[in-house]
Copies of this chain bind each other. A is one copy, B any other.
């Protein structure tokens, strides 16, 4: 049973009353970001109780020395992680001899809100100090979407019964720690701190990587609407800022607005990092709070215009899916191909800000189908830029001739994981990176991307597979030995079905795309062949391998097997596990998990989702019924796939259960781990679940098809989707489905095989 402390609302996340026991969880939930940077919802003011202060800058990493029990050849020497950055949001609030601290003061009323429509986090509270002084405080917190170097906070303090001086101390704070570093090494060197009359700055550099960051800040303060003059500069070794304030009587009110601009050597020259940061600060401050806030909200409204999902009749689902969309767009704007999305976005230290295959499995399809085209393309370019490192990584592991193995976990293209069964063996990641390219070309229609960027990656990945397979003479088949599949609850297996099948499909599609390219763009194709040393015989070899790929299959059950030998396990179902032993990864020893039949996520169902066209309904049903009862869903990537498959085979109730689990995973903290951060990169899974699952959207023979199945209590759902040059606003109610074409040429779609012609300006409606 879910015990919920947050309130349901269509557009807002609301915490009513202060929940100090949930502070770390709330810090994750109320995290803010703008793609360039982000931070957990730790308090601006001093808070002396449990909290994980965390501010993170995209693309800026610290190289932590790898820590393992037993070294294996090929492990990376350093483990890049996004370090906790100096905190730009700190504002202390002092009375004469007391300082605001919710761990010490009485919290008489408290409401914390995340306004997802406008991208603002707000706290409104009444507090009483130990000496009985009562204040009413409101804090608005914004990380600006349009000006991603800017963050701003407005703090309003009204005295209820207090007479005396209120001091507000806005500052930049480099006295922060990173909880999970390997050797407790400092991650930042401080180059300079300086407080001048109207601004202060903190100039720092990451150790080892030596990326420089300058944070500059200024503020405005008023008392009862009148500017407060003066203000004292504060300059310590690791902190810099100002102290301002005024004497107040009950009913009087101080408002402090703090602006901070963060620039880094990623986006500017080191030589004038400080100057440009301060110049930008001044320019933005001149525009003022209202104008900046308005621009920020307008940016969000554009995002929502593209991406909003309406679910009528299910406020919990409605809130959940908007939360997921909101958090994803906070984590990634898609403007800079050097960046990607950390598994926890900017919401925690866990996974070190690193990128996993979640990006290609969940985020990229979401962006491609819902958002502007450049976002998905920049995600592809990210991997394309890392190709040389992926080739070098494969070389380290003994591959040759330009074969590439992409890292399982990375920031900068280098492998950042060090568990051999993952680092070296979870090689299926290569396929989803290739799949993303192919899916992008198929869905967006941007075939230009293939020559040469896309093919560079596809060829290198096919070369990996062609070397990674091994010929099993007795079977007259190619096998892939010694892998870990997406189901990480089985390591070093032979012939994980998903790995084999997806490698086969990637080989086949690459060969066929190359053949098309040779025909359609012979010159560019020739130049690609020269560049990559590709010859058509190599493609023939790939075709041969694909045609002879072994797929573990059990005749008696008529089931594709997780891997060789799966049928020898004792078959059980998850409901046989005592509830107190769930999740098993927190209660069972690793060997027990491995030798059980229980799977973290179903690899076969994943394959049937990604390669839908290869599997008929009956096959899918049989496999769902076989694998679903054995799946513990201890991966956040499991649920949306199960939802989509369950919806396809008409198990709406199960689909809905998976959907809600996926959609409110963090809001309802199913796994008791939201304090570590949000599952940002699996959040778009809920969007995919709705669109591919309940709307049944898929492509068949290059035609967009829908097979809607709505949960019975939903009145309506609406979403917007891109396909080729088209953008469609799709609405589904219990019996009807309608399409509004937002731009471009007419398109014909199918609803349960009914043809629907969509023309701009008309709403096409069909019964289903």
Interface set of A (CB-CB < 8 Å, partner B): 66-70, 72-74, 396-398, 418-421, 424-425, 470-472, 474-475, 479, 481-482, 490-494, 556, 564-565, 567-570, 585-592, 594-595
- Asked if B570 contacts A471 (CB within 8 A), the reply is yes
Residues of B within 8 A of A474 (CB): 556, 567-568
- Asked if B589 contacts A397 (CB within 8 A), the reply is yes
- Asked if B419 contacts A73 (CB within 8 A), the reply is no
Q: Which of A481, A588, A590 has the most CB of B within 10 A?
A: A590
- For A589, give its contact among B424, B494, B589 (CB under 8 Å): B424
Closest Cβ of chain B to A503, distance in Å, is: 15
- For A570, give its contact among B396, B470, B490, B567 (CB under 8 Å): B470
- Asked if B69 contacts A592 (CB within 8 A), the reply is no
Measured CA separation A592–B399 after assembly (Å): 10
- Asked if A492 contacts B594 (CB within 8 A), the reply is yes
- For A481, give its contact among B70, B73, B397, B595 (CB under 8 Å): B595
Residues of B within 8 A of A568 (CB): 470, 472, 474-475, 479, 481, 494, 564
Measured CA separation A424–B421 after assembly (Å): 15
Closest Cβ of chain B to A377, distance in Å, is: 32
- For A591, give its contact among B425, B475, B479 (CB under 8 Å): B425
Residues of B within 8 A of A68 (CB): 67-69
Closest Cβ of chain B to A478, distance in Å, is: 11
Question: Could you list some 10 contacts between A and B, CB below 8 A?
Answer: A73-B589, A73-B590, A74-B589, A397-B591, A425-B591, A470-B568, A470-B595, A479-B568, A481-B568, A482-B594
Residues of B within 8 A of A74 (CB): 589-590
- Identity of the chain B residue whose Cβ is nearest the Cβ of A424 in the assembled complex: B591
Residues of B within 8 A of A585 (CB): 73
Q: Nearest 4 CB-CB pairs, A to B?
A: A482-B595, A424-B591, A74-B589, A481-B595
Residues of B within 8 A of A565 (CB): 481, 494, 564-565
Residues of B within 8 A of A491 (CB): 421, 491-492
Measured CA separation A591–B424 after assembly (Å): 6
- Identity of the chain B residue whose Cβ is nearest the Cβ of A420 in the assembled complex: B590
Residues of B within 8 A of A564 (CB): 564-565, 568
- Asked if A398 contacts B589 (CB within 8 A), the reply is yes
- Asked if A482 contacts B73 (CB within 8 A), the reply is no
Q: Which of A425, A472, A492, A569 has the most CB of B within 10 A?
A: A492
Residues of B within 8 A of A482 (CB): 591, 594-595
Residues of B within 8 A of A420 (CB): 590-591
Q: Which of A494, A569, A586, A595 has the most CB of B within 10 A?
A: A595
Given A67-B67, A492-B491, A73-B586 contact (CB < 8 Å): yes
Given A481-B569, A494-B565, A72-B472 contact (CB < 8 Å): no
Residues of B within 8 A of A397 (CB): 589, 591-592
- Identity of the chain B residue whose Cβ is nearest the Cβ of A479 in the assembled complex: B568
- Identity of the chain B residue whose Cβ is nearest the Cβ of A480 in the assembled complex: B595
Knowing that A68-B68, A474-B567 touch, tell me 5 more A-B residue pairs with CB under 8 angstroms: A70-B419, A421-B491, A424-B589, A479-B568, A564-B568
Closest Cβ of chain B to A409, distance in Å, is: 11
Residues of B within 8 A of A592 (CB): 397-398
Residues of B within 8 A of A494 (CB): 565, 568
- Asked if B398 contacts A588 (CB within 8 A), the reply is yes
Measured CA separation A569–B491 after assembly (Å): 17
